[in-house]
Amino acid sequence: MLDILLLALTLILYMLNGSYILYHFSVLKIKFVSFSIFCIVELLIVLLSVAVHHGWFRFLIELVMYISLLQHFRNKDFKVNTFLTMFTLTFCYFVKMFISIFIVRHIFKIKDDIICGVIGDFCVIPSYFILLKCLAINPKQLIIADQEWESDFGDSEDNLEEFKRERDFEQEQNKLIVFSEIIMIFFYLYNNFVRLSDFGSRFNFRYVVFIYVFLFFMMLHLINVKYKEWENSKLLIYKDRLLSGLATYTQEVDKSYQSVRMFRHDFTNILVSMRETIETQEIEAVRKTYGEILEKSSIILEENRKEVAKLSNITVLELKSVLSAKILQAEMRNVTVELEIPGVIDNIRVEKLDIVRLIGIALDNAIDAAVETEVDKAVIKVAIFNKGLTRYYVIENDMVQEKLPIPLIFEEGYSTKGAHRGHGLANLDAITSNYPSVSYRIQAKNYKFRIELEMS
């Protein structure tokens, strides 16, 4: 009876280990009901494989099932989904085998296969998190092909050198991923087929395991390093663009200051010139003189500079930079940005890069939507203010549609602007999910789109 219970526990642990690691490592987002059905199906497959006494049958079925699940819910590159699947299967298999055979059996001298298997299964998930900790791996930030970065300062395809550099990083990581898949497949085939043959039995299995562990860790490390290199490249590009936006802001403020000086000088001349005319008390002469002087004066009060000047209340350079860049970008597309920043903004509640991406994504979508309305002078309203201990970022713009389906617009790939779009708002949702104190609200009705970011 005890053996039956231990066997059942082993099967359940095996099923939970594989399901959880696949769910966590692939950053899978599925509903609880779907995940439960998946676990039940896997348990049935495990039971079937035990009944037919073929481990390769279970591996083959699980391989197909895992890849199909990832293709359905992630809709990513098949090569990446295969890598995630192979990692899950071989890692669970290797840890269980290593713990149960090399540690429990040989070191602690426990001979019962079922007990050894149960202990090995219990060690799978802790070993997984130890691996992530030791190699400094974040599953969300590991695969370059999974990342959907919005170009917050313009389309990256306009810069061919930058676009080529990004593709080079991705291709180099893809080669490492393919090589890792080959290593994992080779190890599994060796362990389940070659090792059991007369030829394979001549080799010391321990040496093969140690070689595999070394290659496995090295490839994971190299994949992670390649992602870090790509990320650092993106950060440097963002930094350069932030500095460029800040320089633009400084130039616009300087031009605004010169306009104010010119206004003060011309205003003084107007008063002096009109003094004698006013003393005559002839209203027609006053009107004529006023019109001539105003027509010849060089007073320039451009709307975009008036709005840029309002950024003086923001002392966070990164936020000021992205706002000034977007204001001028909107002006080039015949869109007016109206700013309301009543108080001083001297801190932000999230990482600087994240606030740049959040505001950049929201304003990019607002500008695109405003341009689509095809009015003479479309307007985007932006307000940044504090209410108690809470910071609010509100962006509102006109849109062509009377209303939009809120649940759908945050799904990756959904867009009203055609193919290969729609990653922006999905990214906004992903960024805010990393901060418990940050939330957002969306309204998209009556031809108005309004997004409100709340940072406690």
- Contact present, 277 and 285 (Cβ < 8 Å): yes
Do 364 and 225 reside in the same domain of the chain? no
- Contact present, 110 and 104 (Cβ < 8 Å): yes
205 part of a folded domain: yes
Going by pLDDT thresholds of 50, 70 and 90, the confidence category of residue 393 is very high
The whole-number pLDDT of residue 105 equals 83
For residue 179, is pLDDT > 90? yes
265 part of a folded domain: no
For residue 269, is pLDDT > 80? no
The whole-number pLDDT of residue 156 equals 45
Instruction: Name the most confidently modeled range: 249-258, 357-366, 427-436.
Output: 357-366
Of 434, 451, 432, 428, the C-alpha closest to 150 is 428
Instruction: Name the most confidently modeled range: 238-247, 283-292, 445-454.
Output: 445-454
For residue 148, is pLDDT > 80? no
103 part of a folded domain: yes
As given in the structure block, the two tokens for residue 441 are 């609200």
Do 195 and 343 reside in the same domain of the chain? no
221 sits in which H/E element: helix 205-279
**98 vs 212: CA distance, rounded Å:** 12
Going by pLDDT thresholds of 50, 70 and 90, the confidence category of residue 446 is confident
For β-strands 390-398 and 378-387, DSSP reports them as antiparallel
Instruction: Give me the half-sphere count of Cα atoms (radius 13 Å) on the Cβ side of residue 247.
Output: 6
150 part of a folded domain: no
Do 207 and 118 reside in the same domain of the chain? yes
Do 217 and 313 reside in the same domain of the chain? no
Do 7 and 96 reside in the same domain of the chain? yes
Do 168 and 311 reside in the same domain of the chain? no
Going by pLDDT thresholds of 50, 70 and 90, the confidence category of residue 419 is very low
275 part of a folded domain: no
CATH of the domain at 396: 3.30.565.10
Do 72 and 200 reside in the same domain of the chain? yes
**24 vs 92: CA distance, rounded Å:** 13
The domain boundary, picked from 197, 223, 239, lies at 239
288 part of a folded domain: no
Structural domain boundaries, residue 182: 2-142+159-239
271 part of a folded domain: no
Mean pLDDT of the chain: 77
- Contact present, 152 and 120 (Cβ < 8 Å): no
Residue type, 2: L
**16 vs 30: CA distance, rounded Å:** 16
Do 169 and 314 reside in the same domain of the chain? no
Do 235 and 309 reside in the same domain of the chain? no
Do 45 and 184 reside in the same domain of the chain? yes
The whole-number pLDDT of residue 415 equals 52
274 part of a folded domain: no
Do 313 and 224 reside in the same domain of the chain? no
Higher per-residue confidence, 236 vs 23? 23
Percent of the chain at pLDDT above 70? 70
**155 vs 163: CA distance, rounded Å:** 10
Do 168 and 22 reside in the same domain of the chain? yes
The whole-number pLDDT of residue 87 equals 92
Going by pLDDT thresholds of 50, 70 and 90, the confidence category of residue 413 is very low
Give the angle subtended at the CA of 26 by the CAs of 21 and 32, to the nearest 5°: 70
As given in the structure block, the two tokens for residue 182 are 């080959």
The domain boundary, picked from 239, 258, 273, lies at 239
Q: pLDDT (tens digit, 9 = 90+) per residue, 293-334?
A: 655 554 444 555 566 667 778 888 778 878 877 887 888 888
As given in the structure block, the two tokens for residue 192 are 């389940």
Number of domains comprising the chain: 2
The domain boundary, picked from 210, 239, 268, lies at 239
Of 390, 385, 343, 381, the C-alpha closest to 363 is 381
